Amino acid sequence: MEQDQSYKLKKLLKYLEKVKGRHTELISVYVPKDYNLNLVTTQLNQEYGTAVNIKSKSTRKNVMNALTKMLQELKKYKKTLPNGMAIFCGNVSEKPGEEDWVLEVIQPPIPLNIRIYRCDQKFVTEPFKDLLEVKKVYGLVVMDTREAVIGLLKGKSIEILKEIDSHVFGKFRAGGQSAQRFQRVREGLKKEFYKEVAATLRTSLNNKEIAGILLGGPGASKEELAEGYLGPLKQKVIATKDLANTNISGLNELVERSKEVLEQESIIQEKEEVKKFMELLAQDSPIVSYGENDVMEAIKKGSAEKILISESVDDKKIDHVIEEAKKYGTTIKIISTETKEGTQFEELSGFGAILRYRLE
């Protein structure tokens, strides 16, 4: 999901979270991917029949009207949206006898696998909030000279990709072998093992957008792997942890001990965006611009390659910037105010642009 789409969805969910019905009359419906819409309309019709029995006249009227609006809206769809859909409808007016209707149909950013019908005083938004959590993928390796386990961290779940046993024997040689020959053979076996781990890691991570790699285990094996065998993947290593375990449970320990690093990843990326912008600005670079008017001019001339905008800027202005930037294929980065760099950027106006070419 593009950042501008994520921003708009978060904004809508924030609004839906905030509004409340006067009674239990706000309806939330979640439809899983590939679910039969006819079954949804059948249920809503059944709920309409049941709503006739609601004692409160105003609540009964609002629930029945909400169900009618939802049924009418669903007629526009021949089938469920590709990732499933969520429908929210209700009268959110705080004044008795007045109407202020909300009707929203949202497609989730990733496939929805839950089925919900809820009539309550507030809309059910928690499932969407879970889906909007950043789902970065991280490569995991725990190892020593005896074994290695390779896995993936997706959101909060760990997927085991492969377990590899080495043929490297212990440090103490058997009788009849010279110390030099023993060490030479052992080093050769270690190299082959490291090569196998590195090759398996590359194959496992191929075609995946990897945010980083975590390495763990006792001794120096993990460092030796990173330094001598990972090649370009070495740049993806964001944490190296000393662990007692090199089996499957070691993956859990690795993730647990890397929490701080994982939490900082998105912050680091944001800090780097602002840092690059500030460096260009300090150099008086001709390909950087700031301030609302200058940034909007750059967007409308099609010269803006990337726009940075502070989350503290008025929502309507952010929406306007996003819509204008889309016309020219300009990348949007919404900068939080949770970091020192983000606060500095906010104080600078909250509007910044890195240009494709110099503006005359």
Kindly write down the DSSP assignment for every residue of 29-47, as one continuous string.
Answer: EEE-TT--HHHHHHHHHHH
Q: Residue 263's pLDDT is what?
A: 73
**Cα end-to-end span (Å), the chain:** 34
Residue 306, pLDDT above cutoff 90: yes
Residue 360 in any domain: the answer is no
Nearest in space to 152 (alpha carbons), one of 162, 141, 139: 139
Contact indicator for 16, 106 with CB cutoff of 8 Å: no
Give the DSSP H or E segment for 356: none
Q: How many CB atoms lie within 10 A of CB 202?
A: 15
Please report whether residue 42 resides in a domain: yes
Least confident of 71-80, 103-112, 210-219: 103-112
**Residue recorded with tokens 């390495």:** 215
Looking at the domain assignment, is residue 121 inside a domain?
A: yes
Residues 202 and 181 in one domain: yes
Q: Is the confidence at residue 193, as pLDDT, over 90?
A: yes
Secondary structure (3-state) at 265? helix
Is pTM beyond 0.85? Reply is no
Q: Are residues 181 and 68 in the same domain?
A: no
Q: Residue 171 contacts by C-beta under 8 Å, 6 or more apart in sequence?
A: 186
Same domain, 36 and 14: yes
Number of domains in the chain: 3
Check pLDDT > 80 for residue 293: yes
Asked if residue 236 lies in contact with residue 204, where contact means CB atoms within 8 angstroms, the answer is no
Whether pLDDT at 302 is above 60: yes
Where are the strands (E) in the chain, listed by range?
A: 26-31, 85-91, 101-106, 116-120, 137-143, 147-154, 157-165, 210-217, 237-242, 288-290, 304-310, 331-335, 351-355
Q: Is residue 351 over pLDDT 90?
A: yes
Average pLDDT of the residues in 246-261: 89
Confidence of residue 357 (pLDDT cuts 50, 70, 90): confident
Q: Determine the pLDDT at residue 53.
A: 94
Residue with more model confidence, 27 or 156: 27
Across 43-52, 251-260, 318-327, the highest mean pLDDT is recorded for 43-52
Supply the mean pLDDT for the chain. Answer: 89
Which CATH number characterizes residue 322's domain? 3.30.1330.30
**257, 274, 295: which is the final residue of a domain?**
257
* Per-residue CA distances from 224 to 82, 98, 169 (Å): 45, 70, 17
pLDDT category of residue 228 using cuts at 50, 70 and 90 = very high
Cβ 106 vs Cβ 180: under 8 Å: no
The whole-number pLDDT of residue 134 equals 53
CATH of the domain at 185: 3.30.420.60
The single residue listed with the structure tokens 């989730």 is 108
Q: How confident is the model at residue 2 (pLDDT cuts 50, 70, 90)?
A: low
**Residue 319 is part of which domain span?**
265-355
User: What's the rounded Cα separation, in Å, for the pair 313 and 322?
Assistant: 12
Point out the domain boundary residue: 257, 278, 312. 257
Tokens 């105010």: give the residue: 337
Taking residues 113-139, report their average pLDDT: 84
* Residue carrying structure tokens 């740049």: 235
In a domain, 176, yes or no: yes
What's the CA gap between 116 and 130, in Å, rounded? 15
Same domain (yes/no): 13, 79: yes
At 330 the pLDDT is 92
Q: Could you give the CA distance from residue 158 to residue 315 in angstroms, rounded to a whole number?
A: 37
Cα separation of 179 and 182, whole Å?
Answer: 5
